[in-house]
Structure 1
């Protein structure tokens, strides 16, 4: 058969089944109206797809076209929605164009001397990069790294070419290490308005320049231009950069722009792309993850930020790194950091101000003495109850306990302000410096746990001790330094796959910043950890004098990472938090052993994969003997109180699995491999009703001392993951409300049966709040009298109420309880087919059922669903 005939047959075959429309995820209400991303089926060309759209009378304007992704982003000008687009022949997947943000809580420390010598150098000592720079002379030379971010200040002297006596003054010109790039959006772009692209990716926001500096900035020998307080160097200081700007000076970026930047980076020959982006939890079937997998298959590697949602508990790793071969990077804290300080009883303690307080050093008068808020037993209170404050608190600084389970920093700040306090110090729990939102008009700051204990002890000796505030930041050893960052997101994903993959230094990182904004600053986040990992890959490529596949590189780094213990603890941090551990670049490059696969997903008790096989390969030049061992890590219990919403801080338990090896020692000739069978047993401890996530590491240690040990992490869940709560019943969800004609949502009282709804001006509104992933989150409509199933709710705001959904965050972007309101104006889908045409039901009496498919089930209704029946709604004409 001729090639043309084969292609024709393939194209014809792909037109048989309808495509899939993926509705917007909970927690991602921000999307561009009328804008969609379309992925074509295999064998469908761009011209075929456009012909098919025109044949189905779709009036549209192209936003972006994609080659590797095989699709397009379009603005639809006709009445066609995502469901209709998915019905067009040749369409495989359709998504709304969503709006991404920079990861939350990543703000610069604004001061002139924010880079201590110890701080600038300590992170490279943590990872072996300092040895690679000095002994091996590795710099990343010849490796291309794409920064998909806010752009890069390419004229910054930290990005000048090696040996240059002056910086880069012309875009991509002489002395520039930023050799490629594009501005996809323009300064005024915020994610929702029209992009105004041009060829200049200059950074006016700052995030991208900081990220690029971590990958490969060099401020050791700056002779002209702004100089840092302390010389510093990035991980790979001779890489070549591509700067792909997807954010304006403020605001967000849309999915279609991100995909375009990813493809341009590939076409420009980037070896690795850095994606320090913020996204909510989801399944791996999202556009950026899908394209990422395709690019990795074509030879480019990718690092994605795991996210800064550590305060949200489990199930929260961000979208971009969820691909099967992509890398989701967690953050570890640098040992040192620059902070303003507060002194009490003559001892100085670092503090982290709330967002509402801002970055200006707190300045309270000497008369503002400190008072811890104790209960009757002498224990520190959280400050949520107004009655607990003494009458003489006015004008004083109150010390509170940092347990945010009840009212958060906004609530307690408001209570303290109303009581007349002059300021608030919050003792972090369990350690570190907590991130606070805070209350406007109330100076608030977090202090370390050890600082709180010391202040309380000093207060008990002398309640009249003076409290003073520094005027500038100083270098401080950080509580928790060297361990996983408190803000770094926990895994796993909705299919119990092990994410994040690995960790890197991301807390308290000093790097470049736009010259117009001070040139250098300190920032923290998984956005900082990701470029550290990406720079590490550049050193690896240079050392190996090759560009191995993405899967091989990730395995090399995961196998050789440093397994971390909790700060000042004898137990190992859960792999749900640290992945395989802290990146150790020296080990990755010098190791002569590998283990495949690079993770073991044991799943849950019902689907337990207790028998696993690993392959150990000796890549050295001599026969080697390996000893196999196992270390268990902390188990994380997020449902210890029978709660339906996962705990913000999981309870650490000693629920340890056991492992037996088919051979405890193996002898492997040079260049050969051996398979070893592992037999796991679930932990004896731990209540299966609370779904503890247990984990650990299987280790192969060579007899030679000059070759590092290698390991692979495993994660499992004790209990049935199908029974993990998906709807947050603790706050009364699901519940009924109504949407007014102006679009505002009003809550109902208990007398729901007596309320008269109207599809026009009092639309029934179903309030849901997802605390975990569901493969199919549905809202079903039944006739109240006959109980006949009439269809699935179609909401004007949220679309069809079925399909996969990720976890929601505790609070929305306005710091209110995050609730998703499905406004129902009578439209339903008769079947769970987004390509069908919805029908409109008349006035009548209906029963609404919130039914969410349980994880790792086949989706048989009702057996495989968590079901909540809402009261009958009576809809008038």
Structure 2
């Protein structure tokens, strides 16, 4: 049968989709629930009507979860119907595969933790003043924690006068009053959930998060006391524990969305979601539901992600909603660490996780510096570095470059050479986390400490060490600056995310009692609950449960603009959002600016003129002076590279802002509109697509008044020309499925695939968002015959977020599409067809950002050549 006949017959039987099926942006089968879908109905369509429609179309399905605020359900499909089939059915608005999400990877301390000093932590944000002078504690406000559960028995969650916490609305003054276990201990994302009423935490992440929100470990007298007293942001808040993770593994969208809706039903004022996976568009189901909940009067606070080492376009998906808050991290200024003294100077250090106790070596121990041939400090990754060097009984100093080996490897080499221990100088700054070796003392030291040790060693190699027996409070290198791990924006539509920053680096908080009770962790997972607690203080102070986006505006207006470590200029808005949250300023201010961010887009779509509204809520007239503070520009494509740099170059590419008036007097209770006119930076090459940003400031003239601000972002150049595929490394590419080579391993164009044991595999590596990643198939006459269907029925059509540079195992990140000869003839087709044997051309085409999607003009197109089968 001719292919045209097949396609004509298929087209005749194909229904045009009534709804939209959202293809996976990263279609690895390990990240989805097989046959699982989130289905959203059109407004006015009820569950019964929708389910009857599915049954009428012979869909064999089972309800996994049913939602209310989100008008839809999660289902398991047992028939051959695909997500595209479901989207085609009457009444269906959107369909998503159920994806699996992991708890974010955080940097952890040891079993005997030392951590942030509560007073200094809260001094960064004005929370100390809010506690001491305003006496606000979050009392009467409910915060739902969607996480791994909470160890509610922890004494830091005990009510006043009690020595142990409790759970349940019927318990005596239980702080953790609401909640549910949606999954059970054994749930890992692929197994069947076993829900029950007890959300006890066996993993630890949720307890740490809850402690930042509302723990009170200031006066614990039992053996469960912390290494130092501390309190959470809102120490009298009422908590809800909605357990969505087991003791290990992942959790599905269906479970997470059920927890979001239960938190709403239970009357939570705020939802904390310290989770999220990779970059994406705002059309993901969690973000969609999140915006609906905020519109109903809640606040949704989500982590921006911990992919700061991956470069731009990496802000996490959960907080991408228009109304939710995406939270970046700032490192804590002070922390409590054990110290050592060398050559008369004292330095803090962090023991490796495997060693997990303070280092204690003889006072006669000396230092040995290992150097490369060029005289630079060695990373210790080559065992031959110790040849001819006597390190027996000495402490080895090594460089903390992790590109060649991890801490356990270099520790093993040093131990084998006879060293007594090892200190690793952190790059670029701060005290890093080390895994290390259980039988070998290793410590991470600050970059400046490494320089001091090297200088002192050269002056007197016989200097010795002394080690402290107790921790001390020290100022941390890089404290107060944006955390190196915190993910950078923007999103795929050049929207300004993250929204706000909070302390998230080196945070001491509660941990399950079975796991020693307290722990130091770093991550945007820690910054997020800080903002959730801040919302609770604000709600208590104002006596109102304002929508989360309204409170977000106040916090962004009054935040403290931060600088990168060692810099004199403001950090990019793509890194810090509106700045470091300042709760006291937010409560004190009588001024505001709307909107709370300005997206200038790119050169081609530049919003040259923008109107802002300044409101004076005070009791007297106020005169405001308008000004502009530029921020760092991020250059991620300096060499016209196709994949963004892991560490963008910081440039002084500053926009120019002019005002319709530089001073404005606004009567009490009134507003004024100001017109801003933006000009792109004169410096910076449009071919490098620098992301520029800054802040527009309105400063009241009255003494003691709080200035308010709005951040802006823009991209110089045409964003539609930003590379999508990583062509520098040979992507996209075609290979043999049974080949071990990754790139271009087809013997010749005459090679014939058997499509059983040897299939064509298309490799893609996406360096920036695309609204539509497609793999198109053309026949020998160059006529389009369909979109490729992956072996697991995933279609090569749909939006895609940016991929990381490397995966968690250190391998190059890329996607593999295995083709079995099946295609769908159109994007809205509901069935695929197996093409007859012949010769076909494979074309990878990715829609460019901010385009209408006309093919091929609006696509980045790559012809991978002929495939015969």
Q: Shared topology, TM-score over 0.5?
A: yes
Give me the whole-angstrom Cα distance separating, in 1, the residues matched to 2:291 and 2:383.
53
Structure 1 stretch 531-540 or stretch 754-763: which is displaced more?
754-763
Q: 1:16 to 1:781 in 2, by over 3 A?
A: closer
Secondary structure in 2 aligned to 1:321?
Answer: coil
Indicate if the aligned counterparts of 1:384 and 1:415 stay in contact, CA closer than 8 A.
no
Give me the whole-angstrom Cα distance separating, in 2, the residues matched to 1:841 and 1:550.
52
Give me the whole-angstrom Cα distance separating, in 2, the residues matched to 1:249 and 1:289.
25
Give 1:658-673 correspondences, 5 Å limit.
Answer: 658-673=656-671
Give me the whole-angstrom Cα distance separating, in 2, the residues matched to 1:73 and 1:174.
37
CA-to-partner distance for each residue in 1:208-243, whole Å, 9 max, x for gaps?
111111111112233557222322111111111111
Q: 1:469 to 1:706 in 2, by over 3 A?
A: closer
Indicate if the aligned counterparts of 1:637 and 1:690 stay in contact, CA closer than 8 A.
yes
Give me the whole-angstrom Cα distance separating, in 1, the residues matched to 2:452 and 2:154.
43
What's the CA shift for 1:437? Answer: 7.3
Give me the whole-angstrom Cα distance separating, in 2, the residues matched to 1:81 and 1:363.
62
Secondary structure in 2 aligned to 1:696?
Answer: strand
Q: Are 1:57 and 2:58 an aligned pair?
A: yes
- RMSD between aligned alpha carbons? 2.9
Give me the whole-angstrom Cα distance separating, in 1, the residues matched to 2:471 and 2:17.
62
What's the CA shift for 1:478? Answer: 1.1
What's the CA shift for 1:379? Answer: 4.2
Q: Identify the residue that residue 594 of structure 2 maps to in structure 1.
A: 596
Q: 1:403 to 1:831 in 2, by over 3 A?
A: farther
Give me the whole-angstrom Cα distance separating, in 1, the residues matched to 2:238 and 2:88.
44
Structure 1 stretch 858-867 or stretch 190-199: which is displaced more?
858-867
Secondary structure in 1 aligned to 2:728?
Answer: helix
Indicate if the aligned counterparts of 1:23 and 1:798 stay in contact, CA closer than 8 A.
no
Q: Identify the residue that residue 164 of structure 1 maps to in structure 2.
A: 161
Q: 1:747 to 1:863 in 2, by over 3 A?
A: closer
Structure 1 stretch 864-873 or stretch 365-374: which is displaced more?
365-374
Secondary structure in 1 aligned to 2:48?
Answer: helix
Q: Are 1:861 and 2:855 an aligned pair?
A: yes
Q: 1:37 to 1:428 in 2, by over 3 A?
A: same
Give me the whole-angstrom Cα distance separating, in 2, the residues matched to 1:31 and 1:442.
41
Q: Identify the residue that residue 623 of structure 1 maps to in structure 2.
A: 621
Structure 1 spans left out of the alignment, 5+ residues: 1-14
Indicate if the aligned counterparts of 1:413 and 1:439 stay in contact, CA closer than 8 A.
no
Q: Identify the residue that residue 481 of structure 2 maps to in structure 1.
A: 483
Indicate if the aligned counterparts of 1:777 and 1:801 stay in contact, CA closer than 8 A.
yes
State the aligned residue count: 850
Q: Identify the residue that residue 832 of structure 1 maps to in structure 2.
A: 827
Give me the whole-angstrom Cα distance separating, in 1, the residues matched to 2:405 and 2:267.
47
Q: 1:34 to 1:418 in 2, by over 3 A?
A: farther
Indicate if the aligned counterparts of 2:325 and 2:549 stay in contact, CA closer than 8 A.
no
CA-to-partner distance for each residue in 1:623-667, whole Å, 9 max, x for gaps?
000000001111111122332221111111111111100000000
Q: Identify the residue that residue 685 of structure 2 maps to in structure 1.
A: 687
What's the CA shift for 1:358? Answer: 6.5
Q: 1:705 to 1:183 in 2, by over 3 A?
A: same
Indicate if the aligned counterparts of 1:560 and 1:584 stay in contact, CA closer than 8 A.
yes
Q: 1:754 to 1:92 in 2, by over 3 A?
A: same
Indicate if the aligned counterparts of 2:534 and 2:583 stay in contact, CA closer than 8 A.
yes
Structure 2 spans left out of the alignment, 5+ residues: 1-14
Give 1:10-159 correspondences, 5 Å limit.
Answer: 18-26=18-26, 29-111=30-112, 114-115=114-115, 119-159=117-157
Secondary structure in 2 aligned to 1:872?
Answer: strand
Give me the whole-angstrom Cα distance separating, in 2, the residues matched to 1:794 and 1:34.
16
CA-to-partner distance for each residue in 1:521-570, whole Å, 9 max, x for gaps?
22111111111101111111111111112221110110000111222331
Indicate if the aligned counterparts of 1:628 and 1:661 stay in contact, CA closer than 8 A.
yes
Q: 1:793 to 1:671 in 2, by over 3 A?
A: same
Secondary structure in 1 aligned to 2:95?
Answer: strand
What's the CA shift for 1:726? Answer: 1.4
Q: 1:165 to 1:420 in 2, by over 3 A?
A: closer
Q: Identify the residue that residue 4 of structure 2 maps to in structure 1.
A: none
Indicate if the aligned counterparts of 2:168 and 2:178 stay in contact, CA closer than 8 A.
no
Q: Identify the residue that residue 648 of structure 1 maps to in structure 2.
A: 646
Secondary structure in 2 aligned to 1:131?
Answer: helix
Q: 1:778 to 1:288 in 2, by over 3 A?
A: same
Match of 1:314 among 309, 312, 333: 312
Structure 1 stretch 804-813 or stretch 49-58: which is displaced more?
804-813
Indicate if the aligned counterparts of 2:380 and 2:414 stay in contact, CA closer than 8 A.
no
Indicate if the aligned counterparts of 2:730 and 2:743 stay in contact, CA closer than 8 A.
no
Give 1:460-499 correspondences, 5 Å limit.
Answer: 460-463=458-461, 474-499=472-497
Give 1:572-583 correspondences, 5 Å limit.
Answer: 572-583=570-581
Q: TM-score by structure 2 length? A: 0.92
What's the CA shift for 1:389? Answer: 8.0
Indicate if the aligned counterparts of 1:372 and 1:456 stay in contact, CA closer than 8 A.
no
Q: 1:414 to 1:856 in 2, by over 3 A?
A: farther
Q: Identify the residue that residue 759 of structure 2 maps to in structure 1.
A: 763
Indicate if the aligned counterparts of 2:736 and 2:746 stay in contact, CA closer than 8 A.
no
Give 1:177-256 correspondences, 5 Å limit.
Answer: 177-223=175-221, 226-256=224-254
Give me the whole-angstrom Cα distance separating, in 2, the residues matched to 1:368 and 1:836.
72
Q: TM-score by structure 1 length? A: 0.91
What's the CA shift for 1:709? Answer: 0.3
Structure 1 stretch 445-454 or stretch 366-375: which is displaced more?
366-375
Indicate if the aligned counterparts of 2:17 and 2:89 stay in contact, CA closer than 8 A.
no
Give 1:256-335 correspondences, 5 Å limit.
Answer: 256-335=254-333
Secondary structure in 1 aligned to 2:454?
Answer: helix
Indicate if the aligned counterparts of 1:394 and 1:419 stay in contact, CA closer than 8 A.
no
Q: Identify the residue that residue 6 of structure 2 maps to in structure 1.
A: none
Q: 1:51 to 1:317 in 2, by over 3 A?
A: same
Q: 1:359 to 1:226 in 2, by over 3 A?
A: closer
Q: 1:470 to 1:282 in 2, by over 3 A?
A: farther
CA-to-partner distance for each residue in 1:819-848, whole Å, 9 max, x for gaps?
211111111111122x42111123332221
CA-to-partner distance for each residue in 1:479-533, whole Å, 9 max, x for gaps?
1111111111111101111110000111111111112211222211111111110
Q: 1:27 to 1:85 in 2, by over 3 A?
A: closer
Match of 1:336 among 334, 337, 340: 334
What's the CA shift for 1:788? Answer: 1.9
